Amino acid sequence: MSVEMSVFLTNDAAAPQWGAKALLSFTESGAQIHLTKQSPLAAIQRAARKLDNQGIKTVTLAGDNWDLEAAWAFVQGYRNAKKSNTLTLPQFEDADQKELDSRIQITDWVRDIINQPGDEVAPRQLASRAAELIKSLAPEQVKYKIIKGVDLLDEGWSGIYTVGRGSKRSPSMLRLDFNPTGDEDAPVHTVLVGKGITFDTGGYSLKPSAGMMAMKADMGGAALATGALAFAISRGLNKRVKLVLCCAENMISSSAYKLGDIIKYKNDKTVEVQNTDAEGRLVMADGLIYANTQNPQRVIDVATLTGAAKMALGNDYHAIMSFDESFTADALASAKEENEGMWPLPLEEFHRDMLPSQYADLSNIASGDFAPGATTAAAFLSHFVDEYQTGWLHVDASGTFRKSPTDKWAAGATGMGVRTLGNLILKGE
């Protein structure tokens, strides 16, 4: 007897015995998903979650109603962090099949590396695995270098080194160049900068246990940036793009950085550490300084930077901030095209003045009542972008990871945003 469940799509309502507005019903042939007119893809994703929650571990998508987007919605909902399910998908025409295969391959990589424990993903491993993924997609068009440990200081990358020096596992910076032009002097279209904090204790500004449980996912920005470049390549990217990952563990030890320490950056800005749990912006500053040296047309930085963004938007949207209204509009248009969630938060010139220090050029946290945490974090980063008013977009990746399951998502990493950012890279002039 087969243990495989066939799943069909139907626009018909379920029989009354299944309940009013039933999403799923069952026959001798298998399960039927009853689509809603308003949001059919969301209905498919919710139905896939229900099947996984019911312990149905082997599924075939059957019948004639499945298309690329419907199959993808099912894939997203049916997948769980344990990867315990087996799914047989329909075969589509070549272009759609290639697109679906790319989505699955790349988002699986993103979700897997975020879900893995911090013990399995050290800073150097994160940098190496990201480089290997991109290299595997375009072996002749990719060069990269990983700088680690005290070598970071030799090159002036004091933010990454300072945050990571409390761990026995070396902080690392990945610098990767995807150059399909074959011209070593070709201009750089986009630099992607990703936050790769492979575990965040909060340092001496120690997180409580509940707040630390998901901190293996604090490298989600690096994973998302890597996935975005990989996805753009899979769709035929023909522009030069660079990827910079700023990787460290934020740990406590006798060599860890402390409150009151002052970091001097390669651009001569000084930063007073007033909270060691605001470490992401300290490592990202190095990546942005490096991005400046490449004279790119656009810079996109991606980081699980603040709890404030998650409090504002939940897990259903990534927050985006920029002084460049056209770049924001492009990002929102890409999100709509890819059916993913992004939402803008305010960022103005006066926010750049909300980071005062008596001892340095900047503090790493804002001061004053009701300081907007996500916005002032973005404002901090803007001090390390030479042309911050144009061509720079900050993504506070609040939808990267879910501590608890929902009706659409299993607990863990989502992969949300890979397609939007990949699309955005491809669309830029």
Which residues participate in catalysis according to the annotation?
A: 207, 281
Helix 94-115 × helix 123-137 angle, to 10°: 170
Q: What are phi and psi of 396, to 5 degrees?
A: -90, 105
Closest CA to 219 of 419, 406, 401: 401
Q: Say if CB 316 and CB 324 are below 8 A apart.
A: no
User: Can you give the chain as a three-state secondary structure string?
Assistant: CCCCEEEEEECCCCCHHHCCCCCEEEECCEEEEECCCCCHHHHHHHHHHHHHHCCCCEEEECCCCCCHHHHHHHHHHHCCCCCCCEEECCCCCHHHHHHHHHHHHHHHHHHHHHHCCCCCCCHHHHHHHHHHHHHHHCCCCEEEEEEECCHHHHHCCHHHHHHHCCCCCCCEEEEEEECCCCCCCCCCCEEEEEEEEEEECCCCCCCCHHHHCCHHHHHHHHHHHHHHHHHHHHCCCCCCEEEEEEEEEECCCCCCCCCCCEEECCCCCEEECCCCCCCHHHHHHHHHHHHHHCCCCEEEEEECCCHHHHHHHCCCCEEEECCCHHHHHHHHHHHHHHCCCEEECCCCHHHHHCCCCCCCCEECCCCCCCCCHHHHHHHHHHCCCCCCCCCEEEEECCCCEECCCCCCCCCEECCCCHHHHHHHHHHCC
